[in-house]
Structure 1
Amino acid sequence: MFHQNISRVIRWYKGPCTFEIRNIHAGFSWQTPFYDHIIRNQQLQNIEHYIEANPSEWERIQIL
């Protein structure tokens, strides 16, 4: 049931946005499909670490 509600909200949001954006840029399209899942505690810590460490990785990669 929850998944259906999220999908409905996403569809409701994307419809009007698509209409307006295509008035500006006719070739616009959304990336498909969207992916969602529940983030558990350990996953959250891993994601936080990735976000915090990522800018320093950009600097390292640009040097290479």
Structure 2
Amino acid sequence: MHVDHVWEKGEDKGIKVSFEVVLNYGSHIPTMIQGIQKKIKEVVEYMTGMFVHDVDIVVKGLKFK
């Protein structure tokens, strides 16, 4: 996980969160990623009170059962 603070013209624009994940084979990746992004944004904003500008997720691999 990596977190960057986003500033624009000296103004605080929130944070950007980046993750690398390994997913189970057989899942619809776009649907899963959208759900993960939404949940991470909600939880981080609730816990920190900061606006989450972006949640970037990189799929590093697939796990086969």
Structure that is richer in helix per residue: 1
TM over 0.5: no
Q: Scaled by the length of structure 2, what TM-score is found?
A: 0.36
Structure that is richer in strand per residue: 2
Q: Scaled by the length of structure 1, what TM-score is found?
A: 0.36
